Structure 1
Amino acid sequence: MLRGLMMDAPLLVTSILRHAALYHADTEIVSRTVEGPIHRTTYGEAWVRVQKLAHALAGLGLKPGDRVGTLAWNGYRHLELYYGVGGSGMVCHTINPRLFPEQIAYIINHADDAVLFTDLTFVPLLEGIAPEIAGVKAIVVMTDAEHMPASSLPNLLCYETLLEGQPESFDWPELDENTACGLCYTSGTTGNPKGVMYSHRSAVLHGLASSLPDVFNLSSRDCVLPVVPMFHVNAWGVPYSAPLNGCKLVFPGAKLDGASLYELFESEGVTNTAGVPTVWLALLNWLDANRKKPTTLRKVAIGGSACPPVMIQRFRELGVEVLHAWGMTETSPLGLANTPKKKHDGQSADDSLALASKQGRPIFGVQFRVVDGAGNDVPRDGKAFGRMMVRGPWVCGGYYGLADSAAHASLPGWFETGDVVTMDADGYVQIVDRTKDVIKSGGEWISSIDLENIAVAHPAVQEAAAVARPDEKWGERPVLVVVLKPGQPLTAQELAAFYEGKVAKWCIPDDIRFVESLPHTATGKLLKTAIRDMVLHPQPAG
Structure 2
Amino acid sequence: MHGLMQDWPLTVDKILDHARNWHGDREIVSRSVEGPIVRTTYAEVHGRAKRLSSALKTLGVKPGDRCATLAWNTARHIEAWYGIMGIGAVCHTLNPRLFAEQLCYIINHAEDRVIFTDLTFLPVLLEHRAKMPTVKHVVVLTDEAHMDPAAYPGALCYETLIAAASPECVWGDFDENTAAALCYTSGTTGNPKGVLYSHRSNFIHTLVTMGKDVMGISATDTVLPVVPMFHANAWGLAFSCSAVGAKLVMPGQKLDGQSVYELLESEAVTFSAAVPTVWQMLLGHMRENKLGLSTLKRVVIGGSAVPEALVRAFRDDYGVSVTHAWGMTETSPLGTLATPSGKTMHLDDEAQLRFTLKQGRPPVGIELKLVDDAGERLPHDGTTFGRLMVKGPFVVGEYFKGDGGDILDDEGFFDTGDVATIDEHGFMQITDRAKDVIKSGGEWISTIEIENLAVGHPKAALAAVIGAAHPKWDERPVLLVKLQPGVESSKEEFLSFLEGKIAKWWTPDDVVFVDDIPLGATGKIDKKLIRERMKGYVLPTAKAKETA
Shorter-chain TM-score tier: over 0.9
The whole-number CA distance in structure 2 between the counterparts of 1:453 and 1:266 is 29
**1:331 alignment partner in structure 2:** 331
> 1:389: which partner in 2?
389
Whole-Å separation in 1 of the counterparts to 2:290 and 2:121 = 35
Name the residue aligned to 2:542: none
Tell me how far apart the structure 1 counterparts of residues 190 and 341 of structure 2 sit (CA, whole Å).
41
SS of residue paired to 2:417: strand
Which stretch has the larger CA shift, 209-218 or 150-159?
150-159
Structure 2 SS opposite 1:362:
coil
Secondary structure of the 2:283 match is helix
1:79-478 equivalences in 2 (<5 Å) = 79-151=78-150, 153-317=152-316, 318-402=318-402, 405=405, 407-478=406-477
In structure 2, the residue corresponding to 1:536 is in which secondary structure?
A: coil
Question: Is the partner of 1:401 in helix, strand or coil?
Answer: helix
Q: TM-score, normalised by structure 2?
A: 0.96
- Give the match for residue 486 of structure 2: 487
| Contact 1:470–1:476 under 8 Å retained in 2 | yes
SS of 1:418's partner is: strand
Q: Distance in 2 between matches of 1:328 and 1:126?
A: 27
Query: Residue type of the partner of 1:495?
Result: F
Deviation digits for residues 66-121 of structure 1, max 9, x if unmatched? Answer: 00011000000110111110010000000001000000000000000001110000
- Provide the rounded CA distance (Å) in 2 between the counterparts of 1:11 and 1:55: 22
Distance 2:215 2:150 in 1: 42
- Cα contact 1:375–1:411 (8 A) shared by 2: no
Write the distance in 2 (CA, Å) between the matches of 1:140 and 1:178.
Answer: 28
Name the aligned partner's letter for residue 340 of structure 1.
Answer: P
Give distance in 2, aligned partners of 1:375 and 1:538. 35
8 Å Cα contact 2:366-2:392 kept in structure 1: yes
Whether contact under 8 Å (1:464, 1:482) holds in the other structure is yes
- Check whether the contact 1:137–1:155 (CA below 8 A) recurs between aligned residues: no
Q: Is the Cα–Cα contact under 8 Å of residues 71 and 118 in structure 2 kept in the other structure?
A: yes
* Residues in 2 aligned to 1:427 and 1:411: alpha-carbon distance in whole angstroms: 23
Structure 1 residues 404 and 535 mapped into 2: Cα distance closer, same or farther (>3 Å)? closer
Q: In the TM superposition, what is the alpha-carbon distance from 1:461 to its structure 2 partner?
A: 1.1
Between the aligned partners of 2:438 and 2:369, the Cα distance in structure 1 is 23
Secondary structure in structure 1 of the residue aligned to 2:56: helix
Equivalent-residue separation in structure 1 for 2:494 and 2:151 (angstroms): 53
Q: Which one-letter code corresponds to 1:84 in the other structure?
A: G
Q: Give the Å deviation of 1:425.
A: 2.4
2:523: which partner in 1?
524
* Alpha-carbon shift at residue 188 of structure 1 (Å): 2.4
1:352, 1:390 → 2: CA distance? 26
- Unpaired segments ≥5 residues, structure 2: 539-548
**Secondary structure, in 3 states, of the residue corresponding to 1:343?**
coil
Equivalent AA in structure 1 for residue 435 of structure 2? K
Counterpart contact for 2:24–2:42, Cα < 8 Å: yes
SS in 2 for 1:449: helix
Cα drift, residue 503 of structure 1? 1.7
Conserved 8 A contact 2:176-2:198: yes
Q: Deviations over 1:131-187 (max 9, x none)?
A: 111321010001011100233534310000011132223222411000001000000
Distance 1:247 1:4 in 2: 34
Question: Structure 1 residue runs of 4+, over 6 Å off?
Answer: none
Compare 377-386 and 324-333 and name the one that shifted more.
Answer: 377-386
Answer whether contact 2:388 2:419 (CA < 8 A) is retained: yes
Q: Residues of 1 paired with 2:200 and 2:187: CA distance?
A: 26
Secondary structure of the equivalent of 1:231?
coil
CA 1:404–1:499 in structure 2 vs 1: closer, same or farther (change >3 Å)?
closer
Q: Aligned partners of 2:432 and 2:298: how far apart in 1?
A: 26
1:489 CA drift (Å):
2.2
Q: Which amino acid aligns with 1:507?
A: W
Distance 2:353 2:292 in 1: 21
> 1: CA distance between counterparts of 2:149 and 2:49?
27
Q: Is the 8 A contact 1:496 1:510 kept in 2?
A: no
Separation of aligned partners in 2, 1:187 and 1:89: 25
Specify the SS of the correspondent of 2:430.
strand
CA RMSD of aligned residues (A): 1.3
- The CA deviation string for residues 249-308 of structure 1, in whole angstroms up to 9 with x for no partner, is 000000001111111111111111111111111111111111111111111100011111
Contact kept? 2:149, 2:155, Cα under 8 Å: no
d(CA) in 1 for partners of 2:157 and 2:256?
Answer: 29
**For residues 322-360 of structure 1, what are the alpha-carbon distances to aligned partners after superposition, in whole Å with 9 as ceiling and x for unaligned?**
110000000000010111124324424332111100001
CA shift for structure 1 position 375: 1.7
SS at match of 1:70: strand
Distance 1:165 1:120 in 2: 21
Residue 313 to residue 404, structure 1, CA distance change in 2 (3 Å): closer
Q: Which 10-residue stretch deviates more, 256-265 or 481-490?
A: 481-490
Alpha-carbon distance between aligned partners in 2 of 1:379 and 1:455, rounded to the nearest angstrom: 30
Conserved in 2, the CA contact under 8 Å of 1:325 and 1:337?
yes
| TM superposition score normalised by structure 1 | 0.97
2:390–2:415 Cα contact (<8 Å) kept: yes
Deviations 1:385-406 (A, max 9, x none): 211100011000011012653x
Is residue 55–residue 166 contact of structure 2 (8 Å, CA) maintained in 1? Answer: no
Checking the alignment, whether the CA contact within 8 Å between 1:138 and 1:154 is kept in structure 2 is no
Q: Could you tell me which runs of 5 or more consecutive residues in structure 1 were left unpaired when the two chains were aligned.
A: none
Give % identity: 53
Q: Hey, what's the Cα distance between the residues in 2 that align with 1:427 and 1:188?
A: 30
Alignment check: 8 A CA contact 1:309 1:354 kept: no
**Number of the residue aligned with 2:54:** 55
What secondary structure, in the 3-state scheme, does the structure 2 residue paired with 1:22 have?
helix
Distance 2:215 2:403 in 1: 36
